[in-house]
Structure 1
Amino acid sequence: MRYSIGELARRTGLTIKAVRFYSDRGLVPPSGRNTAGQRRYDDTALARLALVRTLRELGLDLATIREVADGEATVADVAARHAEALELQIRVLRVRHAVLTAVAKRGSTPEETNLMHQLARLSEVERRRLVDGFLAEALGDRPELAGIARTLTPELPASPSPGQLDAWIELAGLTQDAEFRAVLRRLADEHEGGLCRDLAADVRDAVTPALEAGVPPDSPQAGAIVDGLRRHPAELREWLRFVNDPRRERYLELLAVINGWAAPESLTPALDWLAAATA
């Protein structure tokens, strides 16, 4: 059966202009011409045109399509190559989307936007170097804190979700916060001296149950709980100033998102109650 360019267009859903373009490029050569010199196409050309249309809609370039149409490459081969290229493009687009979403949400300045863009584009090695440097400065070179350093290390997967990318951008921004580094350094010092461990246990064992039971922080019962902590109120207030820094808990929340962990239990309500009870 012989088809005109118009008939090919109707059968494939392409425009006459598109069919003529593919024919002129040699992707769909005519099988002959009629007496008036007009191009005619056979069923093989119709099948080639359908393949060309499909591959173009999948984003393949004309040179690659020619390889497939001429039998120089299989559809499976070019599909695998194209899928890899698309995966890379998708990763780039995810990063751009995460940065733009973060900028819009936070109303970032041009300087902050540039920083977030740079942090989002870091390689795995660069991310590791950034985090290791942050933790080394915050925790110091203390072997006894090596386990804590590991639990505070984000591990962004090779193909992160939009939420994980957004969390990484925010967490990476926190690592650049000199005040936050100082907070962690102070908590590390107190952890090494036992104060942080002891008070954290006391909060879980005494303060949290009182909070859940609805004990007012300005009540005699609350005062007895504070006295039972065996810490001077001034010492407690100083500890709370660091441990109740919202950046500490936010870091842990972001870390859980990046690493795919369950959301951490918030200590903020109990710490707020204790701060009120020691005011």
Structure 2
Amino acid sequence: MHLSIDSPAESGSSDGLWSIGELAEHAGTTVKTVRFYSDNGLLPERARSAGGHRRYGADALDRLRTIRSLRGLGLPVPEVRRIVDERAGADGALEDAVAGQLRTIGSRLSALRWQEAALRLVQECPPQERADRLQLVGSLDTPPSTAPLARFWRGWLPPRMPASSRTAFLEATVPAPPDSPSPGQVLAFARLCALVSRPCSPDMGPTQPAAHRTAGARESAVLYAGLAEAYDLAAKPMRAGEAPAPGEALDCFVTTYASVTGSRDTSAFRRGLSLQLASDPRLDRYWDLVAELTTPDGAQPEPTPGTAHDWLLAALDTQLADA
């Protein structure tokens, strides 16, 4: 029989308190649930009866409803305890807890989207390729970690490069995995991780550009700050589909190398720079995969540091040919 009681004083009990069963009934839950919250310190009892039974005051109902609402949102018990126990600044505790829960759910959703796209990748590929695809994508965390890419670039950069310059470079060269990837983007990211994790063959020779091998701390900071500016300048004509040509971007590009080497920007320097850059090791495959990863289906690929570098080198060669 349902009791329409609004306060413990109307329950008929001599002490004006509710039993655990009465509190559970008014809250629309079970005695087991109330006992669980009490045992975990979320719902303190007011007293005990002569027979040792729990008794609750008028404030217990609102507190219990708050606890159930917070738990219904998925907040863990320690967070719920902190919110209901905190008097001053309770809104701040609730806001922090909700923000944390949203981050947790976002991470879970991203992991599920990556798992779904990876499964579709395996499902949709030709049967003879499924074993290789499964092995490739099965090595990825979900959501995926960019740690292998960052580790590769840290080993590739000049060893004396300042920390701030290194951080700025990594932000530009390590792509953020999309939250909702397509199967093709999952494949591109898996191939990126496999590419940077592959050991270098001893007969490959130097894997860094010549400028790396001579750059000290100051020179490396100047080099990569100047290159980043040149790549940004080149991005505009690249997006417009313009052919590589001399201009502000190329001048910034050449001036950067001249500054690092302590040279004057002359025609002879530009010819030597063109030869040097043409013989530098290439990382074209990395940038091809970055473009696949960061470009939505059917969209025009965004310029990357790698494609901008190639565009500027082609612009330099065009200028030398015209001269």
Given the two structures, how large is their TM-score scaled by the length of structure 1?
0.47
Q: Which has the higher helix share?
A: 1
